[in-house]
Amino acid sequence: MFLSVIIPCYNEEESIHIFYEEVLKILKKLEKSAEFELIFIDDGSDDSTLDKVKELRYKDSRVRYTSFSRNFGKEAAIFAGLKKANGDFVAVMDVDLQDPPKLLLSMYAELSKKDTPFDCVATRRVNRKGESRLRSFFARKFYSLINKISKTEIVDGARDYRLMSRKMVNAILSLKEYSRFSKGIFSWVGFKTKWIEYENVERAAGKTSWSFWGLFWYAVEGIIGFSTAPLAVSSVLGFILCAASFVFIIFIIIKTLIFGDRAVGYPSLMCTIMFIGGVQLLCTGILGQYLSKTYLEVKKRPIYIIKEETQP
């Protein structure tokens, strides 16, 4: 059996060596039953991440790397890794050790069973210890919203950390979309997934590259990518407003006929104009989001561009 581990890295010079030591301790335990490769994807880091990976490559030929020409984002890095991976089983893992390497053992044990019903063993955090309250609050809201409006189930607290069979990896590779929301894609391709739960672990070194707004737009990407409900909501809203204004117009006509027009009602007029204007802009904005995503897909740009990589 051959096991590939994909590790997306963006400005992680401090973590690379620590990660390698830790994960090797675990992979050594599998040595009897499986060979492995570690594929580091340098997502256009500005620091010495790539040099650190090259140091590893120099002493261990099981280490491979691909380096992007600029930062393309973790989703692109995961896609590149899946494409490069040769394994019968492929794992995706963060380099900051927030994904406990020892779980690899139980994941591998499950998937390598002879007649296992699972094609994927994934992990999910049961708490968000060490994360800011505000961030956890919005994260929870995001999961409950997306699960209401999307047919694809997105498990709350699910990590990208998982081990997949070759079948599932090939299925993921067949989705070539530009806006990649992995949590959705993993679930969309189907296959049975076994969930392992664990308590949140804080970063071993370095700091997270996700800002609040970064996460906000990532959430919007997830919703746009896996649900068209916002479009339906804006149509329904438009319909309700039309109906209301129709009733309102009739009311005004009748009122004018009975009481005459005394040019009152300027404030309510302004309020109505502002309200309807706001709703129109909101709905156009939603439309714009879908259009811009469609625009990016239609251009068929590559998901990432490689600057250099290990030769096979």
Q: Among 165, 162, 169, 172, which residue's Cα sits nearest to residue 195?
A: 162
Q: Is 9 in the site for ligand UDP (CB under 6 A)?
A: yes
Q: Which is nearer to ligand UDP, 8 or 101 (CB)?
A: 8
SS3 for 68? strand
> What CA–CA distance (Å, rounded) separates 274 from 270?
6
Among 52, 64, 74, 125, binds ligand UDP (CB under 6 A): 74
Q: Is 210 in the site for ligand UDP (CB under 6 A)?
A: yes
Q: Which is nearer to Mg ion, 15 or 165 (CB)?
A: 15
Picked from Mg ion, ligand UDP, none, the partner binding residue 9 (CB below 5 to 8 A depending on kind) is ligand UDP
Picked from Mg ion, ligand UDP, none, the partner binding residue 14 (CB below 5 to 8 A depending on kind) is none
Picked from Mg ion, ligand UDP, none, the partner binding residue 71 (CB below 5 to 8 A depending on kind) is ligand UDP
Picked from Mg ion, ligand UDP, none, the partner binding residue 187 (CB below 5 to 8 A depending on kind) is none
Picked from Mg ion, ligand UDP, none, the partner binding residue 180 (CB below 5 to 8 A depending on kind) is none
Q: Are 192 and 120 in contact (CB under 8 A)?
A: yes
35-42/158-165 β-pairing: unpaired
Binding to ligand UDP, residues 145-184 (CB under 6 A): none
Binding to ligand UDP, residues 79-98 (CB under 6 A): 94-96, 98
Q: Is 10 in the site for ligand UDP (CB under 6 A)?
A: yes
Size of the site for ligand UDP (CB under 6 A): 16
Structure tokens at 243: 């109906």
Q: Which is nearer to Mg ion, 98 or 182 (CB)?
A: 98
Smallest gap, in angstroms, from Cβ of residue 237 to Mg ion? 38
* Cβ partners under 8 Å of residue 278, min gap 6: none
Please list, residue by residue across 3-17, b when 16 or more beta carbons sit within 10 angstroms of its beta carbon and e when fewer do. bbbbbbbbbbbbbbe
Give the number of C-alpha atoms closer than 13 A to the C-alpha of residue 1, restricted to the C-beta side.
17
Give the number of C-alpha atoms closer than 13 A to the C-alpha of residue 271, restricted to the C-beta side.
4
Smallest gap, in angstroms, from Cβ of residue 192 to ligand UDP? 25
* Cβ partners under 8 Å of residue 193, min gap 6: 118, 119, 120, 121, 122, 162, 186, 187
Residues forming contacts to ligand UDP in the complex (CB under 6 A) are: 8-10, 12, 43, 71, 73-74, 77, 94-96, 98, 208-210
